[in-house]
Amino acid sequence: MTDHARDLEAVREATDRLLSATGKMDDGAVAEPSRLPGWSRGHVLAHLSRNADALVNVLQGRPMYANSETRDAEIERDAPRPLAEHLSDLRTSGARFLAAAEAPADWSRTVTLRNGVTDSASRVPFRRWVEIELHHVDLGVGHELEDLPEEFVTRENDFLAERFAGHPDVVPTTAFTEDGQLWTTGGGAKGAPVTVRGSAADILGWLCGRRDGSALTVTDGSLPALPPL
């Protein structure tokens, strides 16, 4: 079973790292492009703040977002803010999430996320951890996939491999690391099984769409093109 309390501590630590890195920027850096197409660093920071509030909604039984248009409009509204406002929002929204997640609750209950996706409440802290770690990398401020905690990389690879398992556009694929970690995914598309080898961070980069997979070694075929998350 997912240890939500342990994941909450990881969220707290990841948030501190994010705030420390963001605090070293200035207003000009916030306005510069992030690694996400069409988004500035301000867009990424605004999304992280609003995601914290959205996950509070989830934990408290409300819709995650009113609708996709509202979600997008709030990010566009908040993206151009000065650094000081982003930092304040990141701190306060992050604190709201932690407070909501630390309240006594039935962690085995099912909650509803965006687009009708459901999950166990116990996995919500991990989902927040994912948002913070991957979007910290997206800021392009020196925090790379190789800098992510080993446990996080393994668990996110587990999650993403499961997400694409049986996908109709992905042939059966097995990914290996040199130290013996293994993930299987795909399988819904016709074609011979493919084997992928590389570091856990490079496998994560491919699975989450942050890298093109050129650092991976592929045998028995070509690297599958994964659908967007």
Q: Are 190 and 171 contacting, i.e. CB atoms less than 8 angstroms apart? A: yes
Contacts of 190 (CB under 8 A, 6+ apart): 171
Q: Which residues of the chain have pLDDT under 70?
A: 1
Q: For residue 2, what pLDDT is reported? A: 76
Q: Are 2 and 126 contacting, i.e. CB atoms less than 8 angstroms apart? A: yes
Sort 71 into a burial class: Cβ within 10 Å, 0-12 / 13-18 / 19+.
middle
Tell me the Ramachandran region of residue 148: left when phi exceeds 0, alpha when psi lies from -120 to 50, beta otherwise: beta
Q: Are 80 and 74 contacting, i.e. CB atoms less than 8 angstroms apart? A: no
Q: Which of 14, 10, 19 has the alpha carbon at shortest distance from 123?
A: 10
Rounded Cα distance between 129 and 205, Å, is: 16
Helices (H), the chain: 4-22, 27-31, 41-59, 68-78, 83-102, 124-138, 150-164, 200-207
Which residues are paired to 174 by β-bridges?
A: 184, 195
Q: Are 41 and 139 contacting, i.e. CB atoms less than 8 angstroms apart? A: yes
Q: For residue 229, what pLDDT is reported? A: 84
Q: For residue 187, what pLDDT is reported? A: 96
Rounded Cα distance between 28 and 41, Å, is: 10
Q: For residue 228, what pLDDT is reported? A: 87
Q: Are 25 and 86 contacting, i.e. CB atoms less than 8 angstroms apart? A: no
Q: For residue 168, what pLDDT is reported? A: 96
Percent of the chain clearing pLDDT 70 (strictly above):
100
Q: Are 119 and 110 contacting, i.e. CB atoms less than 8 angstroms apart? A: yes
pTM metric for this prediction = 0.96
